[in-house]
Amino acid sequence: RRIVLSGIQPTGGVPHLGNYLGALTNWVNMQPAADTPDHRVFYSIVDLHAITMPQDPATLRRNIHDMAVSLLSVGIDPDRAVLFRQSRVHLHSELAWILFCKTPVAWLGRMHQWKTKMEAMQQQSGLQIPANATQAEATLSLLNGTAPEQNAPSSTSSSTSDDTSAATSNLNTSGPCLGLLAYPVLQAADILLYKATEVPIGEDQVQHMNLAVDIARSFNSQYKKDVFTIPRGVYATGTAKKIMSLRVPTAKMAKSDPSDQSRINLDDTPQEIMNKIKRATVDSIRGVTYDAVNRPGVANLLRIHAAVRAVKEPGCVESTPEGCARVFSEYDNAQLKKAVGECIVDGLSDVRDRMVRFKKDKAYVEEVLRKGEEKAIVAAERTMRDVKRAVGFY
């Protein structure tokens, strides 16, 4: 049996080039000829994950729909894939709760994405964490939304007698929520709920993937039953695994990056694409070479160019960054950016055309999702029965 599962957050509404090259082209290629019990693919718009960061309800609703439009436009075929909204299949939350109770908190504190997002929120909130605070103190103070007291020893300062009233009267809701810490466990539930064998994802998800494997193994061994199938991450080949931000080429391209200039969205117009690439951060070294360490901006452009070419014409000279660097070796920055921009415009033109078409057909998109949700619920209920039996709820 081959069961494929993956998800994408509806943050931002439209996927970017990193999502497309790092994950979605694999989603499309892993679709079977037909949806059969032995080879199924489940693709989910993971809206429960999206609310780990603040979301405006009306925008979120629109973004969920736009994400469905985007997925159909990149080539997800409802006859061959089960496309659904995570929040409409209530068993994701239910399994997540059970897995929460099987996952040591210590496994979560070391997740890179939690640390990165927590640091970002710390900067936004202006919370001052003293440099000498321990990792545990810093984490706790971020969760509390208060800076650790510098003079008092932390053991006495955190256990004053009116702790309970302080917790309820403090309605300051800024700072990371519990869900942001816990969401890799929800992600494990997403995967294990369908007994997925393969999970096509970008390289930024390696750690979360390993966590899902650890949770599955420890659950199976605790109950001495193969309730969960052990899943395997499937990563894009070549340079598409991790596409970097156009502004800060040492950070990954992300939907949640506040700067729209940092990414190419799949619905950007050719003019927008050319402008964003024109403004991309590069260096002032003469000529084009592929040097990921010393020339991250140029390297990112070469990798993007290579990955886009590889989708249409795998194996051609320009399908590797080294090959691109040879072809463009005499180019100056402006020439390089023009070539990369035109390559992206060309590579995304079919997706953009289909997007215009699907955007007009709201009823069709809604129907696809509803049918997908019906199928997903049937599959998820089967696993949930095994889980509940193992735990002792039946």
11 binds ligand ATP (CB under 6 A): yes
Q: Does 18 bind ligand ATP (CB under 6 A)?
A: yes
Residue placing its CB nearer to ligand ATP in the complex, 148 or 231: 231
User: Residue 270 half-sphere exposure, CB side, CA atoms within 13 Å?
Assistant: 10
CA distance 253 to 245: 4
273 CB-near residues (< 8 Å, 6+ apart)? 264, 341, 344, 345, 348
Give least dist CB 23 to ligand ATP, A.
4
The continuous run of DSSP H or E covering 393 comes out as: none
**Residue span 303-342 as binding mask against ligand ATP, x where in contact by CB under 6 A, dash where not:** ----------------------------------------
* Residue of 13, 22, 176, 347 interacting with ligand ATP (CB under 6 A): 22
- Write the binding mask 223 to 252 for ligand ATP: x where contact by CB under 6 A, - elsewhere: ------------------xxx--------x
Is 359 buried (19+), middle (13-18) or exposed (0-12) by CB count in 10 A? middle
User: What's the CA gap between 101 and 368, in Å, rounded?
Assistant: 34
By the rule CB under 6 A, 175 interacts with ligand ATP: no
235 bridge partner residues? 201
Choose which of 3, 19, 193, 321 interacts with ligand ATP (CB under 6 A).
19
What token pair was written down for 308? 């886009």
Residue placing its CB nearer to ligand ATP in the complex, 36 or 256: 256
CA distance 394 to 387: 10
DSSP for 101-121, please give it. Answer: TTS-THHHHT-HHHHHHHHHH
23 vs 274, which CB is nearer to ligand ATP? Answer: 23
Contact indicator for 9, 56 with CB cutoff of 8 Å:
no
Neighbours of 327 (CB within 10 A): 14
Crossing angle (nearest 10°) for helices 112-125 and 178-192: 150
Sites for ligand ATP among residues 202-221 (CB under 6 A): 202, 204-205
Q: Tell me, by CB under 6 A, how many residues bind ligand ATP.
A: 19
Member of 99, 201, 264, 340 binding ligand ATP (CB under 6 A): 201
- By CB under 6 A, is residue 141 in contact with ligand ATP? no
Least Å distance, CB 180 to ligand ATP, is: 11
Binding of residue 254 to ligand ATP (CB under 6 A): yes
Rounded to a whole number of angstroms, the minimum distance from the CB of residue 34 to ligand ATP is 25
Dist CA 144 CA 174 (whole Å): 9
Least Å distance between CB 246 and ligand ATP?
A: 11
Residue closer to ligand ATP, measured from CB, 264 or 384: 264
The least CB distance from residue 26 to ligand ATP, in Å, is 9
Binding of ligand ATP at residue 52 (CB under 6 A)? no
Smallest CA-to-CA distance from 25 within 236, 209, 197, 231 is with: 236
Residue with tokens 């590797």: 320
* 3 vs 230: CA distance, rounded Å: 11
Tell whether residue 23 is a contact of ligand ATP (CB under 6 A): yes
Contact positions toward ligand ATP, by CB under 6 A?
Answer: 8-9, 11, 18-19, 22-23, 201-202, 204-205, 241-243, 252-256
